[in-house]
């Protein structure tokens, strides 16, 4: 995402919590910041993309004893705007927005979906919650990282939509994994079967893009299983707060828990297929 912004001509200052991954961006022309505060100091727009709620809290607000980890709030100026691409709980986004507003800083929750493939291609779907005027202010940025930008309501709505997305991912990946296991057990020519099914009612992104990996037992990273499990927990908590049970998602969560316990957390979500291979 950052590389695409550089390629589009946006001046970019970068900081990574663990030093090293930002170096290719520096080589492309990005300026290196030594802390979140330093990254925010000269920024009209601050983009955050980290792993979970606590990471966002730490980057934006957590007091630090190490000056190289001063939070972004120490550098943000009134009138600036935070775009949070992380996937976190809707309530956390709403709380962050309130805290930033006290500093005169606007906030959009803008989680993305599309995996590493979409990030590289600039074709992510960006799910935005926040004020319409704030969205229009940052639309040139979002149009670079995403092929589709959808404004879904006030702050928190983007995260709620991402929860819906992760429920769909859970069901579709699990269904494809289960279907591949059945086809293999029956001895069918699965490459031909997948080609045939992709053109019918069973066609899906997961079938077209992950079935072959499942059949081959090879799971190159598109979206980490451990992160999907974290996102699924958010979806289940969000549903519970709305008084809704999600039995399919609860089942997939239990399958993912088994795989995490077996050490597969860094595999792609399509590693759900491993659950079936263990039962041959």
The CATH number of the domain holding residue 17 is 3.40.50.720
Same domain, 32 and 147: yes
Instruction: Calculate mean pLDDT across residues 23-51.
Output: 95
Say yes or no: 108 and 182 in one domain. no
Whether 82 and 146 map to the same domain: the answer is: yes
Are 107 and 16 in the same domain? yes
Residue 242's domain is classified under what CATH number? Answer: 1.10.1040.10
Express each pLDDT in 81-136 by its tens digit: 999 999 999 999 999 999 999 999 999 999 999 988 899 999 999 999 999 999 99
Q: In terms of domains, do 176 and 273 share one? A: yes
133 and 175, same structural domain? no
Secondary structure (H, E, C), 231-268: HHHHHHHHHHHCCCCCHHHHHHHHHHHHHHHCCCCCCE
Residues 96 and 210 in one domain: no
In the chain, what percentage of residues exceed pLDDT 70? 97
3-state secondary structure of 84: strand
Residue 210's pLDDT is what?
Answer: 95
Beta strands 106-109 and 81-84 are parallel
End-to-end CA distance of the chain: 40
Quote the domain boundaries for residue 107: 2-154
- The confidence score (pLDDT) of residue 81 equals 98
Domain end point (choices 112, 134, 154): 154
For residue 242, the tally of other CB atoms under 10 A from its CB is 8
Of 154, 173, 194, the one marking the end of a domain is 154
Q: Is the pLDDT of residue 256 over 60?
A: yes
Based on the structure, what is the number of domains in the chain?
A: 2
Same domain, 9 and 101: yes
Residues 139 and 175 in one domain: no
Residues 116 and 206 in one domain: no
Residues designated catalytic = 162
Could you tell me if 149 and 165 lie in one domain?
no
The number of angstroms, rounded, from the C-alpha of 113 to the middle of its chain's C-alpha atoms is 6
pLDDT digits (tens, 9 = 90+) for 257-269: 999 999 999 999 9
Spatial neighbors of 2 by CB under 8 A, at least 6 apart, are 12, 14, 25, 30, 47
Highest mean pLDDT among 11-20, 63-72, 125-134, 214-223: 125-134
Global pTM? 0.93
Could you tell me which residues are beta bridge partners of residue 146? Answer: 124
Tell me how far CA of residue 116 lies from CA of 11, 229, 277, in angstroms.
23, 17, 25
Task: Return the SS3 of 168.
Answer: helix
Return the bridge partners of 47, or none.
83
Assign 69 to helix, strand or coil: helix
Task: Give the residue from 154, 179, 213 where a domain finishes.
Answer: 154
**3-state helix, strand and coil shares in percent for the chain, rounded to the nearest 5:** 55, 10, 35
């Amino acid at each position: 995402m950052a590389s695409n912004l550089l390629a589009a001509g946006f001046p970019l200052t970068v900081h990574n919590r663990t030093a090293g991954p930002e170096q290719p961006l520096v080589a492309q022309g990005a300026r290196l910041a030594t802390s979140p505060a330093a990254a925010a100091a000269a920024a009209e727009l601050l983009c955050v993309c980290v792993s979970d709620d606590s990471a966002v809290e730490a980057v934006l607000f957590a007091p630090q004893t190490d000056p190289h980890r001063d939070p972004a709030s120490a550098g943000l100026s009134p009138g600036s705007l935070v775009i949070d691409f992380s996937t976190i709980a809707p309530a956390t986004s709403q709380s962050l927005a309130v805290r930033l507003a006290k500093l005169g800083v606007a906030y959009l929750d803008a989680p993305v979906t599309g995996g590493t493939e979409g990030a590289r291609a600039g074709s992510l779907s960006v799910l935005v919650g926040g004020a319409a005027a704030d969205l229009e202010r940052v639309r040139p940025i979002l149009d670079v990282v995403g092929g589709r930008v959808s404004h879904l309501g006030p702050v928190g709505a983007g995260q709620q939509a991402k929860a819906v997305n992760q429920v769909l991912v859970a069901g579709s990946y699990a269904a494809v994994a289960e279907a591949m296991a059945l086809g293999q057990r029956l001895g069918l020519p699965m490459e031909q079967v997948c080609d045939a099914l992709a053109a019918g009612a069973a066609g899906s992104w997961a079938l077209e893009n992950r079935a072959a990996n499942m059949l081959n037992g090879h799971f190159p990273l598109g979206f980490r299983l451990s992160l999907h499990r974290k996102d699924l927990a958010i979806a289940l908590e969000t549903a519970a707060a709305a008084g809704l049970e999600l039995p399919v998602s609860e089942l997939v969560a239990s399958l993912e828990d088994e795989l995490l316990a077996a050490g597969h957390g860094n595999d792609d979500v399509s590693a759900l297929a491993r659950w079936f291979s263990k039962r041959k």
